[in-house]
Amino acid sequence: MDVNKLKPKAIDLFAGPGGLSLGLSLSGFDIVGAVEWDSDAGATYRHNMGDHIHIGDIKDHSPKEMEKYLKDKGSIKRKSEIILISGGPPCPGFSLIGRSKIANLIETGEWNGSDSRHAFIDDPRNQLFREFVAYVAYFKPKFFLMENVKGMVSYKNQQEVPIITVIKKEFENLGYSVEARVLTASEYGVPQNRQRVIFVGTKGKKQRIRYPEPIGATISLRDALEDLPPVSSLTGESVNEKLSPLRKIGLSDKGLFIRWVRSQKTPNGNQFRNRECTLHHTRPVNPRDQAIFPLLTSGENSSRILYKDIYPSRLEEVENLLPKGYELKRYKTVPPKVIGPPWGQRKSKRWLWYDSSKFGDKMRRMRGDKPAPTIVAHLAKDGYMFIHPDEDRTITVREAARIQSFPDSYDFSAGGKNSISSQFRQVGNAVPPLMAMVLGEQIMCALGLKALLTVSEVYRRD
């Protein structure tokens, strides 16, 4: 018998590279359908999670079309088999920039529609939220799970009604009991202080899903990265492809986390040899930053030093740390006119300084003794806010994935198809799998089922 036929079935919308799907599947759900518009993230999802994903705009893949796809594939016989719909619809109004823009639209009345509950509901940029609601309305699952940024918690409409209340009302109108709460990933074994608002909805008037309790395991950044080999700041590549032997890690919470990320397979069966290190690469450190990074401190063992503390007050120290052949001219790092390897360019290359009054924390070193700050998609552009706690370079894709609690077998390159910038962006946008797993466990419990795997079991708390 196909074991998946016994699992509750779920659909994951706005699936990204698959963090939420992975955690839910590990807890016992059968993810039979998914939608993601970004082709690179979709390729990563398909490579690791399976071919049940639709890569394209969700507005072009209606709930009815999803139902037909699932029936044609034999995943379901009727739409009532879908027990859970999950996802994190992007909502521009919740970001700091988006909130200021939408506030202006509210003030001027420049939004489409006449629904007075909130501009959020009518704003065309939040069409994706309405698509999520439409899927819930069509499939009528027993439960839904929606994840979004913490920023929405403090946002109110022009009538001073919290946006959380507005969103809950949308689902209550469909017959769901809804609760929203901010959860912190580090309380569930994720080495990151990522905070997200989690909506859980139950069909009917009685709320049966409990939010997970902290598991009592705190993994620091250094804990999560301890077995990874050093990385050359000049090339951005790992000095070797071997992880440290597990016998050196021990069986503490740190050791249990590392054992899990190294041993866990993906649903597609991807798994690397026990000591093989993959995607452990980042951007080479340019000559200017080779002189700045050593001066930055995280505050772990001394006072914290950020970029604003370096430029322009400590330029002499920067100049002394510049690589051979480079010098400061007019507050710019300029190589000599004749440039040899590794640059091989005829013209001088210049690295400008950031305005420290506007970008005072542009460069910051992470503390190794605490969970990492929130990994963000901006890593696709630069990693200056994620400088390694002990090495003078920015973190690698694998390190970012470890911080998000992805198994080492999870390949964000989709078999070599995706660029390093794309890999960083995907990791930053993802839901931490361990956080998704604890949520999946609670929904399984509400169904009267035992989760296949729990985070407490990973950390041997049961």
Based on the fold, state whether residues 178 and 317 are members of the same structural domain.
no
- Is a pLDDT exceeding 90 seen at residue 10? yes
Evaluate whether residue 176 is within a structural domain.
yes
Based on the fold, state whether residues 88 and 137 are members of the same structural domain.
yes
- Is a pLDDT exceeding 80 seen at residue 418? yes
pLDDT band at 205 (very low <50, low <70, confident <90, very high): confident
Mean pLDDT value across the chain: 89
**Integer Cα distance of 295 and 320 in angstroms:** 11
Evaluate whether residue 228 is within a structural domain.
no
Evaluate whether residue 353 is within a structural domain.
yes
Which residues carry out catalysis? 91
**Confidence at residue 342, expressed as pLDDT on a 0 to 100 scale:** 47
pLDDT band at 166 (very low <50, low <70, confident <90, very high): confident
- Contact in structure between 406 and 279 (CB atoms under 8 Å): no
**Integer Cα distance of 115 and 187 in angstroms:** 39
- Is a pLDDT exceeding 70 seen at residue 229? yes
Evaluate whether residue 299 is within a structural domain.
yes
Considering only residues 336 and 272, tell me which one the structure prediction assigns the higher pLDDT.
272
Q: CB-based contacts of 97: which residues, under 8 Å, 6+ apart?
A: none
Based on the fold, state whether residues 15 and 151 are members of the same structural domain.
yes
Evaluate whether residue 17 is within a structural domain.
yes
Query: If you ran DSSP here, which 8-state letter would residue 128 be given?
Result: H
pLDDT band at 126 (very low <50, low <70, confident <90, very high): low
pLDDT band at 98 (very low <50, low <70, confident <90, very high): very low
**Integer Cα distance of 58 and 55 in angstroms:** 9
**Confidence at residue 125, expressed as pLDDT on a 0 to 100 scale:** 55
Considering only residues 133 and 97, tell me which one the structure prediction assigns the higher pLDDT.
133
CATH number, domain of 139, equals 3.40.50.150
Evaluate whether residue 225 is within a structural domain.
no
State the residue range of the domain holding 391: 286-395
Angstrom CA distances, 431 to 12, 339, 385, stand at: 12, 44, 20
Based on the fold, state whether residues 167 and 309 are members of the same structural domain.
no
pLDDT band at 90 (very low <50, low <70, confident <90, very high): confident
Q: Token pair 């979004």 is at which residue? A: 148
- Is a pLDDT exceeding 80 seen at residue 96? no
pLDDT band at 242 (very low <50, low <70, confident <90, very high): very high
Q: Quick: pLDDT tens for 213-225.
A: 999 999 999 999 9
pLDDT band at 121 (very low <50, low <70, confident <90, very high): low
Considering only residues 235 and 275, tell me which one the structure prediction assigns the higher pLDDT.
235
Angstrom CA distances, 452 to 66, 365, 400, 434, stand at: 27, 38, 26, 13
> How many domains does the chain fold into?
2
pLDDT band at 338 (very low <50, low <70, confident <90, very high): very low
- Looking at residue 15, its amino acid is A
- Residue 169's CB is within 10 A of a number of other CB atoms, namely 14
Evaluate whether residue 328 is within a structural domain.
yes
Evaluate whether residue 384 is within a structural domain.
yes
